[in-house]
Amino acid sequence: MPEVFVRVAVDQPMSALFDYRYTLAAPPVVGMLVQIPFGRREVVGLICEVTHETDVPADKLRAVTSLCDGLSPMSADWIALATFAAEYYQRGLGEVALPGLPQALRDTSRWNRLLAVEPRFRLLPAGRESLPESLPARATALRRLAAVLAAQPSLGLSNARTLHPKAGATLDEWFANGWIELASPDDAPALPATFATTAGALPLPVATDEQRDAVAAISGAQGFASFLLHGVTGSGKTEVYLHALAALLVEKPDAQALVLVPEINLTPQFEAAFRARFSALAKGSIVTMHSGLAEGERARNWLAAHTGAARIVLGTRLAILASMPTLAAIVVDEEHDPAYKQQEGLRYSARDLAIYRAKQLDIPVVLGSATPSLESWWQAERGRYTRLTLTRRAVSEAALPSVRLIDLEEERRHGRASVEGLSGLLIAALKTRLERGEQSLVFLNRRGYAPILSCDACGWVAGCPRCSAYAVLHKLERALRCHYCGWEARIPKSCPDCGNIDIAPMGRGTQRVEETLAAVVPGARVLRIDADSTRRKGRAQALFSDVHAGEVDILVGTQMIAKGHDFRRVTLVGVLNADTALFSHDFRAGERLFAQLTQVSGRAGRAGLPGEVMIQTRYPRHALYQALSRQDYVGFANATLAERRDARLPPFVYQAMLRAEGRTLKAALAFLAEAAAAFAPLPGADRVTVYDAVPLTIVKVFNVHRAQLLLESGSRAALQAALRAWQPALRALRGVLRWNVEVDPLDV
C-alpha cells in the first residue's frame, strides 16, 4: 500500500496548502474537513488534494488527527469558488474557506453532536413491501438507494445523495407515498418533511406586464445569464424574484436558490414573503443566513444548505459562500448597496462573487435595484448584462412621489421661519400629514444629538482623545461618544479649557431632530430608528413593526429607514443635511447620495396615496438634485459614467488599495513608500499607476495612524498579476501594526 498524503487548507494568512500523512481507516476525500496538528495547536482544515507524493521530508510530516466523515465533502465547485475568491482578493484559500463555516464545524469536539442534525430517513414496513416492486429493473442507482435504506436503521440525506444524485426528490416521493419516515424526531421541526412543490400549491398574484416580461426573460435563460433588473421603487422587484424562482423550483425539484439582501433588517420581510409564497415547501426548506443568527441555528441552516435540504437560502453577503450543491439561481437585491462589500478580513464583494458563481455553475443571476451601481449599469450599457426594466409602480394606483427641492437660501431671504433646521414648508407638510392620519419619514444621515460640542468663548471643541475626530454629543445617553472607536465620556458641565459654562451643541443629529419634531408638530408620535435606538437584539424589528402597525406618525432616522422597507402609510419624506455629500472628495459620493435619496424617497406613496418628497438644500440647482426631482436615474447614471470615463475612474479602470496602520503616521507612510518601491520592478507593474501614499481623512483611530496607497490599471489582469507578485515583498516588510490589500475598494 503506497502512503497517502493530504494537502490541507488552514485558516492562516498565507496561501500555501500543508501536507499531512493520512493513516486513518476512513478514506479521505477532497472537500472533507480534518483535524490536524498545526504548530502547537490542533486546528480544522479542508482537504484540497489527496496524493501519494509529497516534497515534505518524512521527519517534518505530521499525521491527520481525525476526519469529519459524517459531513459530506464540500463540492469541487465550492472549492473552486473559494479558490477564486482567495486569489482575486489576495488571501489564502483557508482564509476564505474556513471562517465561513459554522462554529460547530470548526470545533472538532462538537463534530459528532452537530452531525446528528442532518435529516435521516427510515424505511417503513409499507415501503419494505412496495418499494422494490415500484422500481424499474434497470434503475440501478435507485435500487442501490432502496437497498441501503433497507439494510440500515436509517440513512442520512447527504449519504443518500452520494448513492443517487436525485436522492432529495426521490426520498420526497417515497415520503409522500408513506414508504419512509424522518428518523430524527427531535430535530424534525426545522427539517423538511417533504420537498414537494407543485404549481397548484403556489397561488401567484397577477403580475404586471412589465413584471411578466422580466420573469419570462429570467425563466427563459439557458445556462449562465446575468440580468440587471432596473425597477423604480415599489415596482415589485420582489414579485419578479418570487415568480422567477417559483418557476425554477417547480421545474427542478432538487434545485436550490440563493437570495441576497444587503441588511439583516430586511431578511424578516423577505423571509415572510418567501414563506407565504412557497408555503408548499416545508418550513426547513427556506433558511436564513446572517451574522445575527444564534450559533445553533446558524449551524442548522448551514447544514440544510449543504445537504440540499434547504431549497431557498436567504441571507446577507456572507451567504454568497454558502455550500449549496444544487444551486440553480442567484438573486442579489439592492445590488448597489455598499453593504455587499465586506470591509474587513476577506474584503470581498458578494455581488461580484455572485456573478462569478453563476458563471461557474452556468446558472442565471439577477441583480435588482432602482439605482444600480454604475459598475452594473455600465455592464448593461455595453451588453454584458441583460437589462430588464420596471418603469411603473406595481400597485396600480401608486405613482412615484413628487420631489420638491426646498431652497434654504431662499427661505432665509424671504424671512420664512425655520426651527432648528426644519424649514417652515416641511413643518407645515408634516402637520398636514398628521391631520390626515398619514405617516411621515424624516431622513438624515447622522446619529446622536449633535456632531460637535464647542465653546464659544475659547474655541474648544470636544474631541476623542484616541482619534482625530470630534466626539458626538448624545443627549439621551448623557454622553460624548466617538463614532470611530466607541470612546465615551460624560458631558462636561463647562469648558474644560476656559471654564465657560456656555458650551453649546452645533449641527444636528437624529436625536436633536427627534426632539425638535416633538416640539413643532404637537401631538405627533415620533419614533427614531438608528444604530443607537436599535442596539439591543430584536429591537429594530420591534420598532419597524410599530411603524407598520401605524403606531407612529413621524419616523426619523438614518439610512436604516431608507432601505427596502415597504411602509404602506408613508406619504411624506423629508430629507435634511444631504448637501455635505455633494462636495465630498470621494468620487462615489454622488452616486451613493443619489441612490440613498432615491431609496428613501421610494418609501413614500407606495399604497395608492400620493407621495411627496421634500429635500432641504442650499444647492437646488445642482445636477444631482435636478435629476432626482425628475426621477431620472438613467440621465444621472449616463452623465456620471461619462464623467468617470473622462476622468479615468472606475468602472473604466480597476483599482486596488494598500492600507497600513502604524503607531505613527510616519511609520504608516514609510511602510507604504517601501511597498511602492517593491512594487515598481514587478512584472506587469508598468501597466499599473501607483499613486502617492496619503493619510486617511480620519487619520487616527484608537491611537492607530492610517494611510493608504492607491493602485490603478486599465487592465484587470495586469493589476491582479502584479498584486499577486507583490505579496511576498509585502509580507517581508515590517514597521506597521497591520496592513491589508483591498481589491475594487469602494472608499478611496
- 457 near Zn ion (CB under 5 A): yes
Please report how close the Cβ of residue 668 comes to Zn ion at its closest, in angstroms: 17
Q: Torsion over CA of 66, 69, 74 and 75, rounded to 10 degrees? A: 130
Quick one: which of 354, 302, 312, 347 has its CA closest to 333? Answer: 354
Contacts of 695 (CB under 8 A, 6+ apart): 665, 668, 669, 705, 706, 707
* Crossing angle (nearest 10°) for helices 237-251 and 209-219: 40
Of 117 and 266, the one with the shorter C-beta distance to ligand ADP is 266
Characterize the bridge pairing of strands 570-575 and 439-443.
parallel
Cβ proximity to ligand ADP, 158 vs 208, nearer residue = 208
238 touches ligand ADP by CB under 6 A: yes
Residue 634 CB, nearest distance to ligand ADP (Å)? Answer: 16
Site for Zn ion in 481-500 (CB under 5 A): 482, 484-485, 487, 495, 497-498, 500
Q: Which positions from 513 through 572 interact with ligand ADP, judged by CB under 6 A?
A: 566
Q: Residue for cell digits 498545526?
A: 38
Residue 95, number of CB atoms within 10 A of its CB: 21
Nearer of residues 401 and 505 to ligand ADP, judged by Cβ? 401
Report which residue's Cβ sits closest to ligand ADP: 236
Cβ-Cβ contacts under 8 Å for 310 (sequence gap 6 or more): 256, 284, 285, 286, 287, 301, 304, 324
Q: Does 231 bind ligand ADP (CB under 6 A)?
A: yes
Asked if 726 touches Zn ion (CB under 5 A), the answer is no
Which one of 47, 207, 670, 675 is in contact with ligand ADP (CB under 6 A)? 207
Total residues contacting ligand ADP (rule CB under 6 A)? 17
Residue 394 site contact among ligand ADP, Zn ion, none (CB < 5 to 8 Å, cut-off depends on kind): ligand ADP
Residue 466 interacting with Zn ion (CB under 5 A): yes
- Count of Cβ atoms closer than 10 Å to residue 681 Cβ: 10
List the interface residues with Zn ion, window 579-618 (CB under 5 A): none
Which of ligand ADP, Zn ion, none sits in contact with 740, Cβ below 5 to 8 A by type?
Answer: none
Alpha carbon distance 302, 191 (integer Å): 12
126 or 395: CB nearest ligand ADP:
395
* CA 143 from centroid of its chain's CA atoms: 43
231 binds, among ligand ADP, Zn ion, none (CB under 5 to 8 A by kind): ligand ADP
- Cα(79)–Cα(8) distance, integer angstroms: 12
Q: Could you give the 3-state DSSP secondary structure of residue 96?
A: helix
Q: Binding residue for ligand ADP (CB under 6 A) from 170, 211, 267, 601?
A: 211
- Of 230, 301, 244, 231, residue with least CA distance to 277: 244
Shortest Cβ distance from residue 207 to ligand ADP (Å)? 5
Q: Are 391 and 235 in contact (CB under 8 A)?
A: yes
Contacts (Cβ under 8 Å, ≥6 apart) of 212: none
x-or-dash string of contact with ligand ADP, 300-319, rule CB under 6 A? --------------------
Strand order across the 41-51 sheet: 18-22, 4-9, 41-51, 33-38, 66-67
Neighbouring residues of 261: CB distance < 8 A, sequence distance ≥ 6: 267, 270, 314, 315, 316, 333, 334, 564
Helix (H/G/I), strand (E/B), else coil: 481: strand
| Residue 196 exposed, middle or buried by CB count within 10 Å (0-12, 13-18, 19+) | middle
Residue 596 sits in the site that holds ligand ADP (CB under 6 A): no
Q: Which residue's CB is nearer to ligand ADP, number 276 or number 419?
A: 276
CB of 421 to ligand ADP, least distance (A): 29
Parallel/antiparallel/unpaired status of strands 704-713 and 654-662: antiparallel
Q: Does 237 bind ligand ADP (CB under 6 A)?
A: yes
Question: What's the closest the beta carbon of residue 214 comes to ligand ADP, in angstroms?
Answer: 11
Picked from ligand ADP, Zn ion, none, the partner binding residue 497 (CB below 5 to 8 A depending on kind) is Zn ion
Find residue 19's DSSP bridge partners. Answer: 7
Alpha-carbon distance 590 to 588, whole Å? 6
CB of 664 vs ligand ADP, minimal distance in Å: 48
User: Could you tell which of ligand ADP, Zn ion, none binds residue 487, using a CB distance below 5 to 8 A set by kind?
Assistant: Zn ion
Give the residue, chosen from 464, 552, 672, 711, that forms a contact with Zn ion under the rule CB under 5 A: 464
Report, in Å, the least distance between residue 393 CB and ligand ADP.
7
Q: Among ligand ADP, Zn ion, none, what binds residue 239 when CB lies within 5 to 8 Å by partner kind?
A: ligand ADP
Residues sharing a CB contact under 8 Å with residue 27, sequence separation 6 or more, in sequence order: none
Using CB under 5 A, pick the residue from 467, 529, 627, 736 that binds Zn ion.
467
Q: Residue 83: helix, strand or coil by DSSP?
A: helix
The least distance separating ligand ADP from the CB of residue 606, rounded to whole angstroms, comes to: 6
Which grid cell sits at 349?
A: 464583494
Residue (of 303, 312, 232) closest to 280 by Cα position: 312
Shortest distance in whole angstroms from residue 231 CB to ligand ADP = 5
Rounded least distance, CB 504 to Zn ion, Å? 11
Q: Do residues 603 and 431 make contact, with C-beta atoms less than 8 angstroms apart?
A: no
Q: Does 50 help bind ligand ADP (rule: CB under 6 A)? A: no
Stretch that binds Zn ion, among 146-154, 232-240, 330-338, 465-473 (CB under 5 A): 465-473
566 binds, among ligand ADP, Zn ion, none (CB under 5 to 8 A by kind): ligand ADP
Member of 460, 619, 652, 691 binding Zn ion (CB under 5 A): 460
Q: Which does 87 bind (CB under 5 to 8 A by kind): ligand ADP, Zn ion, none?
A: none
* Residue 217 φ then ψ, to 5°: -65, -45
- How many whole angstroms separate alpha carbon 350 and alpha carbon 321? 8
Binding residues for ligand ADP restricted to 387-416, rule: CB under 6 A = 394-395
Which listed range, 231-239, 379-387, 438-446, 510-518, lies at the site for ligand ADP (CB under 6 A)?
Answer: 231-239
Residue number with CB closer to ligand ADP (390 or 521) = 390
Contact with ligand ADP (CB under 6 A): which of 236, 372, 605, 651? Answer: 236
Closer residue to Zn ion (CB): 372 or 509: 509
Which C-beta is closer to ligand ADP: that of 64 or that of 332?
332
Q: CA separation (Å) from 490 to 473, 474, 485, 508, 695?
A: 10, 10, 16, 19, 30
408's contact among ligand ADP, Zn ion, none, with CB below 5 to 8 A by partner kind, is none
In the bound state with ligand ADP, the residue whose beta carbon lies nearer, of 233 and 445, is 233
Among 197, 226, 235, 596, binds ligand ADP (CB under 6 A): 235
Using CB under 6 A, which of the segments 236-244, 308-316, 425-433, 714-722 binds ligand ADP?
236-244
What is the SS3 assignment for 695? strand
- Cβ pair 733, 693 in contact under 8 A: no
How far is Cα 248 from Cα 254, in angstroms, rounded to an integer?
A: 10
CB 182 to ligand ADP: min, Å: 34
Residues lying near ligand ADP in the complex (CB under 6 A) are found at: 205-208, 211, 231, 233-239, 394-395, 566, 606
Residues lying near Zn ion in the complex (CB under 5 A) are found at: 455, 457-458, 460, 464, 466-467, 482, 484-485, 487, 495, 497-498, 500
